[in-house]
A and B are shown apart, each in its own frame.
Chain A
Amino acid sequence: MILRRVDRFFDERLGSDAWVRYVFAKLYPDHWSFYLGEFALYCFVMLVATGVWLTFVFQPSHAGAFASVIAFTRATPVGYLMRQVHHWSAVAFIAAIVVHLGRVFFTAAFRKPREITWVLGVLLLVTASVTGFTGYSLPDDTLSGTGLRIADAVLLSIPFIGGWAADLLNGGGYPGPLLIPHLYVIHVYFLPVTIGALLALHLGLVFYQKHTQFEPDPAHVVVGRRFWPDYTLRTLAVFFATAGVVTLLGALIEINPVENYGPYHDWLVTNPAAPDWYAAWLDGALRLGPAVEWRIFGHPVPAVFWPGMVLPTLAFLLVVAWPWIDKTITKRDEVGDVLVPPTAAPWRVGVGAALVTAGVVLTLAASDDQQAVGAHVRVTALVTLYRILFPFGSIAVGLIAALLAAELRASRAGRGAERERVVELVRNAEGGFDAREPHST
């Protein structure tokens, strides 16, 4: 009743009915792999919800940050849970983005006309990772302080502008009095707003261009479920499942126990330090990077510049430009509304598997110190091992994956041919049927 009145109110003034009807009738995909992106979306919702709460109890200054975190964590179970759920949501958020990106990559959903959506998605991954890193740094504990010190060194290594950029961020030498306030504004304002904007564009494009699908449809019909009520209920279920999982993690498993890490002082360096998982590959790259110091135009460039700045930039460019690289390789630029099964393009499976392996090796390298203690071997031996695995292991895994995909494709094609074999059915004496090769009589 009230709904109808509200509806009429808006319709008479804005003519909104047609639009509402359009939205309600819009079709959404129901393939399981299309929910991966929604996990990320709902993790972000949880991040904003818990993050807003945290802004009321956190004190963004070098003097107060750590103490305020300990205070609100200890004061109420709610404070503890909010912080835990916030951090777990961040960890799961980026995992969901990566899984979603993998789905889009391996099914070639990034093809024309969806290249822009792909680029926006990659930007979302980068922004989310930076947001995560700044958030990890805010409690100002010894673990994240060590991470910030490393990030500061990488920033300083940029030729010509490094010193200036680091000064700007720190508001003086490291760790400057403005470092935590700056990180705070970046973390609670600039980056979340950027994520919100990117997300709006990303989803707007998905809405506007319609989703891809596995069914090859000759009549260009989009297959899916209506927004209302089918899809609404589904996506609500996905929201509650996601929220439930991150809340359970928050309630049951302790994350980032800063109380045990202690407050950061710049004379303390944690030896067994590593960042959150999504930044670990960068730490690993720093640990594996060669100890070379070249000069560029007489300007010394520290060794951390290559693994710390150049490698991630190259990786970013490779991923952002993938739709165009893919086009160049396949020499095809027609509209790709129909998804391809991953095995259809074994070479793409190979490239993807190699990139994933490279990332995993670098991530493992970020814990080499702890592995060394656990296995009682020298850290330097592990560094050598990972230096070998990074290029050669990646290539090997890529090749094996491509071969397996080709094998799968071949056996699928074989089975398909089997299924389509034409036979002639002939009545036999018992009243049943016998299959016969056609024209074999």
Chain B
Amino acid sequence: MDVKFAIDLEHVVRIYRRDEFEVRALDDVTIQVPEGRFVAIMGPSGSGKTTMLNLIAGIDHATSGRVSVGGEEITGMKERDLAAWRARHIGLIFQFYNLIPVLTAFENVELPLLLTPLDKAERREHVETALRIVGLADRMDHYPRQLSGGQEQRVAIARALVTDPTIVVADEPTGDLDAKSAEEILNLLTDLNRQFNRTIVMVTHDPRAERFVDTVYRLDKGILVGIEDGKGGPARAESAQAQA
């Protein structure tokens, strides 16, 4: 039978047009990531990492090719449907955390739950659980400015987890953190992957990250130039294949 892929990109091209110029940010990328993997997208600046992540997260549209996530094809979905789809299936983590500054840690984590049918008591329970997982149960009523960078990113991770998404995508989650905090965040993501069998796609510059992930996808100038085993798990890359 077919293996069910968490992420399935087929000949995906993303071209940005600005005035006369055309940037092929992603050029015919095909990958398949099985469920439950922790994978990294790496490459030099401007190589298309964020672009690829945004396409997987359904916040950007491919110029051509097919994008399927969790077995569902999202290419061609209308924006309204796509927004609802994101709320259900995607947990997002950003380099600069992107917490809402006027909301407390609790309220930030609760935000995506407002798009679910959960009632207030259920939401509270989910939020508390998520904050406990990231080790911030005692910081629920703090505003982002009252937290350290590492703590902010952990709140953001709680927000990404709280809806129990199909996949978690993280764009340079350690990019703005010191070495110690970065290590903590990577450990936390690894735990999520191992304990909760969550599929995680992470864009990173950080060479240390290779130790944690199962597979590394290397991009250069929008082209997928390599798929390598990470050192974080057994070689499982054979099920992911590149087609140039």
Q: Do A and B bind each other?
A: no
